Amino acid sequence: MKHLRTCFAALMIGIVLACSASAFAVQVHKNMLDSRLAEVELNSKLDLKAIQDLGGIVDNFNGTLARVYLLPEDFRELQLRGMTLRWLTEEEIDPYGDFRHPHETLDEYHYNDDIEAMFIGWQASYPTMFSYESIGLSVQGRDLWMAKLSDNVTSDEPEIEVKYISTMHGDEVVGLENCLRFIDTLLTGYGTDPELTELMDDFEIFIMPLMNPDGREVPQRYNADGADLNRTFPDRIVDSVNTPVGHPQEVGLVMNWSATRNCVLSANFHGGEVIANYPWDNNYSGLSIHSPTPEHDLFYHLAYTYASYNSSMLSNHSSPSFINGTTNGADWYVISGGMQDWNYVWMGCKEITMELSYTKSGPLSALDSLWWENETSMRKYLLEAREGVRGFVTDASTGDPVRADIMLDAISYVTYSSALHGDYHRIFRPGTYTLTFSAPGYESQTINSISVVAGTPTILNVQLNRTPAPEIAVSPLSIEEPIPVCDEIEVPITIENNGNVLLTWNGQGTDWSTCDSRETSLAYAWRDISAEGTEINFTDDDQNFGPYSIGFTFPFYGQSFTTYRISANGWLSFTATDAGESSWSNTGLPNGSAPENLIAPWWDDLSPQRTGCVVTRYTSGTDSLIISYENVESYSGGGLYNFQMILLATGEIVFQYGSMGTNRLTSATIGLQNSTGSRGLEIAHDETFIENNMALAIHSVSEFAPASGTIPALGMEVSTVTFNSCCLPEGLYTTSIEISSNDPFNPLVSISVTLDVGGQMDPDPVTDLTALFEDGGVRLNWSESVDATSYEIWRGITPDFDTSSGSMLIEVTETTYLDNSAIGEILFYFVIAKR
């Protein structure tokens, strides 16, 4: 039985941020925990590429010698190739060793616990200027601490955002110590030093002294999983999908945190050389050659600004690529997965890699001089973020802030305005520029001849006009309903278009629920269709036949199908014609390489063309489709399988397994997936699951009808969502359903759903109330409501039921009532069925 329910809820708005790429590559990195540092003699920079292709990680390169981290097997391989190399001793790597003293002052080396203690102290002493947070935990469970410094640190103000990050490599610690000293200098110098005061007043400064706390504890270059954190960020060439998935834990944490901020300038600190390294670090040739970005002049200037206040850096000419204390990263040596390239490509942030000392952790006595060599550079570098163009991007109609892309000429690497305030800060050298401001749902605006002079930022506020667009509104946005066990209820969903352009929408229900005859009352009952069905005569083991008529319309992932195709390899599809490797090579689900619109009771490499194997199809023409595989062998000769799939017009799917033998029962996939391989149901994949004489039922928990549509401007449409509780356990079941649309500001609306399976149902509503005058009163009559035990009689003076303006007269058990208190005016009556 279907039950009609109406629901009401307050409006909620959700925002979804998505990233996409038209093409991508993925790079796999070795675990380097067993690596050691070697010195390699080079004949040319081509040798560097050969080393990196093998998996070696270059630590430094000067002329003909390179220091490279190698695994023992890679060391031997390079020897076999004729290269001259040797392992470096611990004394050669770090002549000063690792000092472990009490870490109570800024004159000592510090570890992660020390940083936390210092942060606690600073926050207590400077509560309006210093705050900190953990952005997440390292592989071994240590916090990654991020500090924030500003004059009003508890507020997120429209100020220039900048950041410093140090010690991605756990054994390179000078930057860690300088970051702690810089924090102390900012706090103690505020109000007395003009530059420090300007930084605190006009900037929001973020500092992470230690990105690799696990590596610091050893100490070692890598994280606890053996990953080099400055080789494992997304990369425009070898790993061009900007997602934290598949990247080291600490890298993913920094990526996620960065996405919440709008930093325009940053630096990361290293050791082992003294140089300011600017992008690109990588190039398409893989060769160590000069590889400038489209904004090379700006990057060189930023690097030179830092180097010019550091005499050791400025005078370093130990490599041919070192010029005025700077180097182009790829010209020195190529790396992929570096953080500075990632910041420029995806975060709109200009970042430089600063190498601060020739030894990675020098003697304690050197800390003071290393700090003073960098103190002025650290402040002057950040002050460069003042230069260029700044302003606010707002909605021309509402004045609301707009998160916009700000593009220089045709350079695809953009900066952004903040979603909170709409402020933007684009760094430029003096000159004349053209900027284009764009945002989804707005008309782009290009402004030419923007003049930038040194020392004074150019103020440019931009108002963007909305493009004509649809505007979706959905009601309700939450559903809470009881539902009988293994039954259905219907809930109407109202979809409105409050915009001035056609709205296109698509409803996506919850995926699937499953149950089998081992755990529920579902019964195994093989349907013998040998007499009435049609045999499919396969002559090859990978054939795909069809299309055949289903005999009725079958709903599947929001689409409706009337035909299907059948594969020799134990699956059905409504559209896929696969007959090659994708036909027989089963995968997990969902999977973009698997056949689309797939229903797979036993997807494996089968051979139904062999003698004695029978595949039969049958449709009732009204409510059921049955496909049976009997005595079907696998391609390898093992297995002798009997299974069938049944599709019902209700959308239910049943798999039945008869005698499945004892061989190759862990090599198949059982499940479903949609047309794109983006959503699916994996019941089993290459694992023990089925038994002989077993039935498996698959139900769609929710389906939209219609599942998609178009709505004209200022129009509306109602779609009914049918919820099915079969295979759901009794009690509360929570899920969500979604409506996607072409509304640029609200492209995905999520509706929360709570079903009380087996819960008490409300009675059906009264729909046939009549009122007649009788004996000076008003006689009300209505039909009995299913499941009702009584009825509340309400009277009001408006046609809209409202308990605040109406009054309840009485609660009765009959289906009639005479109101003798009615007076001579227009009245409205309401009858509410009660359980």
**Active site members:** 355
Residue 682, amino acid: E
First to last CA, the chain: 18
- Cβ-contact 829, 769 below 8 angstroms: yes
Q: How far is CA 268 from the centre of its chain?
A: 25
Counts for the chain of helices (H) and strands (E), in that order: 14, 50
Cα distances from 477 to residues 493, 538, 752, in angstroms, run 9, 50, 6
The Cα–Cα gap between 587 and 603 comes to: 9
Secondary structure class of 314 (helix, strand, coil): helix
Residue 736: how many CB atoms within 10 A of its CB?
15
* 786/765 Cα distance (integer angstroms): 8
| Contact indicator for 467, 741 with CB cutoff of 8 Å | no
Residue 443 to residue 397: CA distance in whole angstroms? 13
Q: Which of 133, 180, 181, 179 is nearest to 154 (CA)?
A: 133
| H or E element in which residue 214 lies | helix 213-217
Query: Could you give the dihedral angle defined by the CA atoms of residues 129, 135, 141 and 145, in that order, rounded to the nearest 10 degrees?
Result: -30
**What span, in angstroms and rounded, lies between the C-alpha atoms of 815 and 789?**
11
SS3 419: coil
Cα distances from 227 to residues 57, 142, 210, 233, 533, in angstroms, run: 11, 16, 16, 11, 59
Pairing of strands 472-475, 488-497: antiparallel
CA distance 810 to 795: 10
CA distances from 494 to 469, 555, 620, 705 (A): 19, 21, 36, 12
DSSP state of 453: B
645 burial level (CB within 10 Å; 0-12, 13-18, 19+): buried
CB 141 within 8 A of CB 134: no
Q: Which two tokens stand for residue 182?
A: 């810089």
CA angle centred on 491, ends 487 and 493, rounded to 5°:
150
Per-residue CA distances from 536 to 518, 615, 628, 686 (Å): 31, 6, 10, 27
User: 């900048």: which residue's tokens?
Assistant: 162
Euclidean distance between CA atoms 799 and 212, whole angstroms: 67
Q: With contact defined as beta carbons under 8 Å apart, do 370 and 384 qualify?
A: no
Distances (CA, A) of 473 to 398, 480, 705, 730, 760: 19, 19, 18, 33, 31
- Contact of 653 with 645, CB cutoff 8 Å: yes
Amino acid letter at 32?
M
Token representation of residue 181: 């000293």
Classify residue 386 by its DSSP letter.
G
Alpha-carbon distance of 681 to 514, in angstroms, equals 10
d(CA 327, CA 275): 7
